[in-house]
A = this chain, B = another copy of it.
């Protein structure tokens, strides 16, 4: 069922996306402003479900690439947002019919809204991850053989490029160095998919899910009930730590915001390691949860999501874990986004405390089932 996205829905959409963004994706408020401005200027956007996509659709993802620490200070213009879509449409020689989110996460859930509004195209109620990840090849479509390239990129100065690479990791590598050189954030568009491929490879109903989470937080607050508990219920997750932020190390290196945050309470210390998104939560030296499951930091009282670049000394926060799309636990997926990829030599720790097998035997079995 299609529905209409109007400016009033943006704050909750962005709030929910910041929850699923597991710390990444940039400030939801700032991303929301851009989407609201685009909707006010160009009119509301029609959001269509994956089921409604025609087979011959040309679906492109649109995203901002770079360090969220920079993105929040260098929000793109609408011209910049649509530039890579237009460049890619010209390169493909076919009109683009639908815009989709590569990930859910602050800015990257609202930028596609702005692009869809400015281009007058429908937006797909889906995304490529069901969460946010730091590198562009880290989307489920990669596991289904969808190529990121041709991928177009654009900056605020008017520079545009199109890449045609041998695999999605090379798209990431070349686009990343270009992003760093172009000022640490660029707009990208790629992963051209037919309707059928999008149905198979994307995570369904992402924008609806974001809205439900965002509205849940708002309602809980209005009802004076616990917004964090409401979010945990909606995600099917669990709360595993509460405390005060006592230290944040953060650097913007190689085009990412990398760092570590320490959160303390009377008995324990939680350490969160992140690369744009939270990757690993350790409590007093024990690993509790890792990528690909979701690690989410919420304000202790309001339940508002806090992004990695928004973490500050003294914040009182609660930390929750939630399951990722089950396809992220296949062996191929874990090789791409599991702890090992980010340099942690440990198995993936699921949100519920169970482990994925290191060698991926169980996981390999799951891949076969999932991708069959």
List A residues at the B interface (Cβ < 8 Å): 87, 91, 157-166, 170, 173-174, 176-178, 180-182
Contacts and interface: CB of A to CB of B under 8 A. Distances in A.
B181 A177 contact: yes
A275 to B, nearest CB: 18
Contacts of A162: 91, 161-162
B159 A164 contact: yes
Given A87-B164, A177-B178, A177-B181, 17 more contacts: A91-B91, A91-B162, A157-B166, A158-B165, A159-B163, A159-B165, A159-B166, A159-B174, A160-B163, A161-B161, A161-B162, A161-B163, A161-B164, A161-B174, A174-B181, A174-B182, A178-B178
5 contacts: A91-B91, A161-B174, A174-B178, A177-B180, A178-B178
Contacts of A178: 174, 177-178
A53 to B, nearest CB: 29
A59 to B, nearest CB: 22
Contacts of A160: 163-165
A174 B159 CA distance: 9
Contacts of A159: 163-166, 170, 174
A214 to B, nearest CB: 37
Contacts of A182: 174
Contacts of A181: 173-174, 176-177
Scoring A164, A166, A170 by chain B CB atoms within 10 A of each residue's CB, the highest score goes to A164
A80 to B, nearest CB: 12
A161 to B, nearest CB: 5
A107 to B, nearest CB: 23
Nearest to A170: B159
Nearest to A151: B161
A166 B87 CA distance: 15
A126 B173 CA distance: 36
A170 B177 CA distance: 13
Scoring A87, A159, A161, A170 by chain B CB atoms within 10 A of each residue's CB, the highest score goes to A161
